[in-house]
């Protein structure tokens, strides 16, 4: 008996048409207001054509994000400070764009609520963190950053200046703010030595005096 042939292969032209229509609808209405029905209508197909390819809207959004947002190369000029400023300026421009506000950020939040999708998102979007983390580690090895620098924490501190305003509906910093953000994260906010000196003086005052 002849083995059963697999189903009809996906038409890449239809995939592209669906993604293009999906991007248009999401940019017009926002991720949450965009419906699979409207995307299918604009592409001239039924909703099953979408669900066969992407079982959920967030999986459709993940595919769309992967197509339209290629990871940016990490600068490497020899100065970690200058490289981080360039990286942050680029990220601030990217995350301020309608694509990220309307598609990427809301889809990421929804994906985080769904266990397996959260893992998939982490795997898809970890690439830029790995590249930047490697750049930071090289600067630690060269002595440009402190030996106890945690690359992941440094990245979180930098990217938090973008994600926290978005979470609380505030304005995201502009690319012109990249330099001050990097300088403040790298140097800290305390007056040099004052916090340490105050702590030391407190410990001294609380310790028993010499007879």
145-164 core/surface letters (b: 16 or more CB in 10 A; e: else)? beeeeebeebbeebbebbee
Q: What is the pLDDT of residue 37?
A: 97
**Distance separating alpha carbons of residues 4 and 18, to the nearest angstrom:** 29
Q: In a 10 Å sphere around its CB, with 0-12 CB exposed, 13-18 middle and 19+ buried, how is residue 23 labelled? A: buried
186 backbone dihedrals φ, ψ, rounded to 5°:
-70, -35
Q: What is the pLDDT of residue 194?
A: 55
Span between the terminal Cα atoms of the chain, in Å: 101
Is the separation of the CB atoms in 45 and 18 below 8 Å? yes
Q: What is the pLDDT of residue 143?
A: 95
Q: What is the pLDDT of residue 33?
A: 94
Q: In a 10 Å sphere around its CB, with 0-12 CB exposed, 13-18 middle and 19+ buried, how is residue 132 labelled? A: buried
Claim: this prediction has a pTM higher than 0.85 = no
Q: What is the pLDDT of residue 2?
A: 40
- State the CB neighbour count (10 A cutoff) for residue 118: 14
Structural domains in the chain plus CATH codes: 12-67 (1.10.10.60), 70-189 (1.10.357.10)
- Per residue in 40-96, pLDDT (tens digit) is 999 999 999 999 999 989 889 888 888 876 666 788 899 999 999 999 999 899 888
Q: What is the pLDDT of residue 70?
A: 62
pLDDT along the chain (211 residues), means of 10: 48 91 94 95 96 92 80 84 94 86 83 70 73 94 95 95 88 94 90 51 47 40
Nearest to 90 by CA among 192, 180, 177, 190: 177
């Amino acid at each position: 008996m002849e083995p059963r042939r697999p189903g009809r292969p996906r038409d890449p032209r239809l995939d592209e048409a669906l993604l293009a229509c999906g991007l248009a609808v999401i940019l017009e209405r926002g991720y949450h207001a965009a419906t699979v029905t409207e995307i299918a209508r604009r592409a001239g197909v039924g909703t099953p054509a979408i669900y066969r390819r992407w079982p959920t809207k967030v999986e459709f959004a993940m595919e769309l994000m992967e197509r339209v947002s290629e990871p940016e190369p990490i600068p490497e000029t020899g100065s970690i400070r200058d490289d981080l400023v360039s990286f942050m300026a680029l990220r601030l421009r990217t995350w301020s764009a309608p694509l990220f506000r309307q598609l990427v950020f809301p889809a990421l939040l929804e994906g985080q609520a769904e266990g397996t999708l959260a893992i998939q998102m982490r795997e898809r979007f970890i690439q830029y963190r790995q590249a930047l983390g490697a750049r930071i580690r090289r600067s630690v090895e060269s002595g440009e950053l402190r030996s106890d620098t945690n690359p992941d924490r440094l990245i979180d501190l930098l990217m938090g200046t973008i994600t926290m305003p978005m979470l609380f509906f505030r304005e995201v910093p502009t690319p012109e703010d990249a330099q001050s953000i990097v300088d403040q994260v790298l140097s800290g906010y305390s007056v040099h030595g004052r916090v340490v000196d105050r702590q030391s003086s407190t410990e001294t005052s609380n310790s028993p005096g010499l007879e």
